[in-house]
Amino acid sequence: MESAEIARRYLRYFEEKGHLVVPSASLVAEDPTLLLVPAGMVPFKPYFLAQRTPPAQRMTSCQKCVRTPDIEEVGKTTRHGTFFQMLGNFSIADYFKEQAIPFAWELLTKPQADGGFGFPEERLWVTVLHDDDESADLWHKNVGVPMDRIQRRGLADNFWHMGVPGPGGPCSEIYYDRGPEYGRDGGPEADEDRYLEVWNLVFMQFQLSAVRSKIDFDISGELPGKNIDTGMGLERMAAILQGVDNIYETDTMWAILDRAAGLTKSQYGKDATDDVSLRVVADHVRSGMMMVADGIIPSNEGRGYVLRRILRRAVRKLRLLGGGQDAGLMHELTATAVKAMGEQYPELVRTAANIHTVIDAEEESFLRTLRTGESIFDVAAAESKRAGRGTVGGADAFKLHDTYGFPIELTLEMASEQGLSVDEDGFRRLMQEQRDRAKADAREKKTGNADVSVLGDLLESVGGKVDFLGYGAYDSEARVVGLLVHGANVAEAPEGTEVEVVLDRTPFYAEGGGQLADQGVIKFLGGAEIAVHDVQSPLPGLTVHRGVVKSGLARSGDTVLAEIDRSRRMAISRSHSATHLVHAGFRKALGESAAQAGSENSPGRFRFDFTASGAVPVSVLRDVEDEVNDVLMHDLEVRAFTTSQTEAVAMGAMALFGEKYGDEVRVVEIGEYSRELCGGTHVGSSGQLGVVKLMSESSIGAGVRRIEALVGMDAFRFLAKENVLVNQLAEQVKARREELPERIAGIVTKLREAEKDLERLRAEQILSASAGLAEQAKDVNGTAFVGHRAPDGVGADDLRKLAIDVRDRLAGRPAVVVITAVPKDRPVVVVAVNEPGRERGHKAGRLVGVTAKVLGGNGGGKDDLAQGGGADPGKIEEALAVVERQVGAE
C-alpha cells in the first residue's frame, strides 16, 4: 500500500466518523517558541489550550513535521529521520476513551478490501498507564484484546503533557509484532524493535498546575472538557504495510535513495559507510524539498539555518559517495522527490520550479564553499601543528561554519585525516551563544515581553479574534481588553511607561505579509494618550499595539479612539500594491520560477525578494520597470474580495511561495494584470502609485535575488535629483545628455592611462635612489645596514619595491634594509633581509616588530620581507636608530 493511499484511508475513515479533514499546516510553526512543527498536534495546541475556537470538535489531519535534535543519528540507524508525516484524529471536548479506542482498533484491523489496514488482531499489543484501569477494561472488554497482550507501563512511557502547565493525561499505545526474527518474546516491554509502536492515543483529562519533568508534575484537577489527541507515523505504517524493514525502504524514501545510488554509482547494502550516506541523502533531500516548498530559504539563522544544514549534509554525503564537485545531482534527486511526494502534496508539482531554483543554488554555493573551506582549514591545521597543538580551535571551527557554511562534521573528518582533533566544546559553546541570541531576538520581536499564556487568555477574552477595521477605516472606537507592562497584565499604566495594548477592535495593521506595522495614537476618553510605534500579531487573531504612554494614566477596560498615521499608511499601501505589480512583471519576464521569497513594504520604498538562478539582465529590469509604469498610466482598479482558497486558485490568484493560508482567503486584483492572495492594505487604483523606480538588483543568498525600489513621491524626488545631476554633468563635460556615457567613458579611460604613466614614473624615480642607498650602507657589526625615510606620500607597494631592490644590490654580504615613509598620516615600515643576513640570524619579521613598536603599532611577515605600521610619524628617526642597534646586537 503506497504512502499516499495510507493517508487517504486514514483521513477518509475519520471523515466518515464525523471528523473535519484539516489540511496540513505549514512546517513554519505559528507558535513563536518553535522554529518548525515537530509533532502532529502542534497546530491543534491553541484549541486544546482554549486559546482559539476550533472549526469543529472532531478533526483529522496528515501533518507535515520536522525534527532535527537527532540529526547526527540520521542514516546511522534506520529509525531516525528529519521529515515525517503524522496522521492524527482529534476530539475537542467531544468523544473520549470509549470511542477513541474502538476507532483505532477498527481502522487497524478492518480488511484492506473494506478500507482498513488489515492488521492481524493476534499481532497487535497494547500498553496503558500503570493505574489506568479504565483504558485496560475498554481494550479487553469492549475491543477484545487478551489481557496478556495489554501491558502496563510508567509515567515515562504512558503519560503525556506539553512540558508546561496545561492539559495532560495518560496515553495508550498500539504495537505491531513483526515476528521472532526481529527480537525476543515478551511484548513492547521486552523489545521495541520487534514490537513496533504504530499508534499513540493521548487522553487529555487532567489540568496540570506545575511541570518539573516528564514524570514530575502536579495535577490540580480534571479538565471540564476532555480531549483526544492521537498520532500515527505514516512512514512507520508504510514500512509495515509495504513489508520492508525500515522507513528508508518505503516507497517515497526508496525512490530517492535508489536514484542517489544510481547517480553516484554506489550500491545500497554493499558498504556500511555508503549505506549511511545514501540514507542521509534520501532523508535530507525529501526534508529540504518540503521545507523549501513551505517558503523557507537557506540562511545562517533560525529555520533557514536548519534547512541549510540539511541540504549541505546531503551535498556532502553525495560528494563522499563519489558525486564529486559537479553540481546537478541535487536537481535530479529533488525531481525524484517531487514525483514521489507529488500525489500526496500537489503543491510540490506546482512550485517545482521554485524549489529547484533554491536547492540548485544552495548546492552550487556549497560546492564552492567546500573548495574555499578546505583551503582555510589547511591553514588552521598547519598553524595548530606549528604551535605544537593537536587540536584545531573551537573558534576556527566556528568561523569555518559561521562565515563559510562549513559543517562541523566535515571539519572533524578533515582534522582526523591529519591526526588532529577539534575543540568541539568550544565550537558548540559559540554555536549555542549564537542560537540563543537569534532565538531571543526572534521571540522579542514577535511576542515582546509577554508570556504566551497571557496572550492566549487575552485572545480568548475577545472571542478568538481582534476585529481588524483597517481596510476601510483609519480610526475607530475600541475598548482596552489588555494592558501589558513587562509582560504582565496590569490595570493601569502612568505616563512614560512602555506598554503593550490589546483592543477588541482596531484599525492598526499588524506587521505581516511583508507589510510594516502601522503607527499612530490611542486616545483615552479620560485624556491619556499612547503613542503606538509597532503592532505585532504574536498569536493568530491577536493584535498587540506597542508604545509609550505619552500623557495621563492609561487604564485597562477604558474606551479609546485608535487613530493610525494616515499618510504613513497610504505610503505603505502604495508600496504594497507596487510589490504586487513588480512580482507580476518579473513572472511575465522570467517565468513562474520567479516566485516571491520575501518582501518589505515601507513608506515610499519597497524590497522584493524572489527566486532566480542568477542575476537579472539589465534589459529585463528596464523592461519590467517600463511595463509596471505603463500599468500605472492605465489607472487599473484595485479590488479586494474574500473567497475560498479553492475558488481563488481556480481563478488564477497567485498564492505566494511558502505562504500560509486558511480555507477562506482574501484576493487582491489590480485589473487583469495581477491577482494574488493577500491580507495587506492597498491603493484604490494603480494610478495612485504615481511612478515606480527600480533602484538595484542583487543577490541575498543562494537562489534568491533582491530588488530595491522607490514608489510615489520618493521615486519622483529621486528622478528629479538624478535629472539635475545629469544636467550638471552635461554642462561640465560640454556634451549633450545622450552623449554622456561615451564622453565620460573616454575621460575615465584617459585618467586611467595617465595614472598608469604616473605610477610608472613614480616607481622609476623611487628606484633610481636604490643604487645610492646601497652605496651608503653602514657596516653594523659585519652587516650592511640601510635605514632610510622615503618622501612622504610614497605608498607601501613602492616601499616594498625599493627595499627589495636595495637588498638585491647588497648581495654577497649580510644585509638588512629598513625603508619607512608616511603615505597617509600614518608611518609604514618595510624590512628586507638577504640570504646571508638570514644565515647570520637576522629575521625581517622580528625586526619589523621592533621598529613598529617604537612607532606605536605592530607588524609581521616572513624572514626575508616584512611590513608594519604605526601611529606616530614623529618617532621615525628613533625607530630607525632602535632597529640599527638591534641589528648590531644580533
Q: Report whether 331 belongs to an annotated binding site.
A: no
Q: What is the pLDDT of residues 576-606, one digit of tens each?
A: 999 999 999 998 998 877 888 888 999 999 9
Q: State the cell numbers at 244.
A: 520492508
CATH label, 773-889, candidates 3.40.50.300, 1.10.579.10, 3.30.70.100, 3.10.310.40: 3.10.310.40
Q: Report whether 80 belongs to an annotated binding site.
A: no
CATH of domain 569-720: 3.30.980.10
* CA distances to 317, 330, 640, 847 from 577, in Å: 44, 36, 12, 65
Quote the pLDDT of residue 435: 67
CA 539/CA 39 separation, integer angstroms:
19
What residues are paired with 637 via a beta bridge? 685
Residue 198: name the closest of 251, 144, 126 by CA. 126
pTM: 0.65
Q: Which residues of the chain have pLDDT under 70?
A: 32, 323-327, 403-405, 435, 437-453, 654-663, 763
Quote the pLDDT of residue 325: 61
Quote the pLDDT of residue 237: 94
CATH label, 3-248, candidates 3.30.2350.10, 1.10.3720.10, 3.40.1410.10, 3.30.930.10: 3.30.930.10
Helix or strand (DSSP H, E) at 798: helix 796-809
Q: Report whether 682 belongs to an annotated binding site.
A: yes
Q: What is the pLDDT of residues 158-177, one digit of tens each?
A: 999 888 788 899 999 999 99
State CA 228 to chain mean position distance.
34
Quote the pLDDT of residue 104: 96
CA 319/CA 325 separation, integer angstroms:
7
Q: What is the pLDDT of residues 418-456, one digit of tens each?
A: 888 888 888 888 888 876 765 555 555 444 555 566 887
Residue type, 856: G
* CA distances to 166, 208, 494 from 458, in Å: 16, 21, 21
Q: In the chain, how long is the greatest CA-to-CA distance?
A: 112
CA 76/CA 276 separation, integer angstroms:
5
Domain-wise residue ranges, the chain = 3-248, 250-441, 452-564, 569-720, 773-889
| DSSP notation for 849-883 | HHHHHHTT-EEEE-SSEEEEE-S-GGGHHHHHHHH
State CA 822 to chain mean position distance.
47
Helix or strand (DSSP H, E) at 61: strand 58-66
452-564: in CATH 2.40.30.130: yes
Q: Do domains 569-720 and 773-889 have the same CATH topology?
A: no
How many other CB atoms are there within 10 angstroms of residue 470's CB atom?
A: 21
Pairing status of strand 505-506 against strand 467-468: parallel
SS3 473: coil
Q: Report whether 62 belongs to an annotated binding site.
A: no
Quote the pLDDT of residue 286: 96
DSSP letter at 454 equals: H
Quote the pLDDT of residue 457: 81
DSSP letter at 723 equals: H
Helix or strand (DSSP H, E) at 499: strand 498-503
Helix or strand (DSSP H, E) at 207: strand 195-211
Quote the pLDDT of residue 651: 80
Burial 778-801 (b: 16+ CB within 10 A, else e): eebeebbbbbbbbeeebbeebbbb
Quote the pLDDT of residue 655: 64
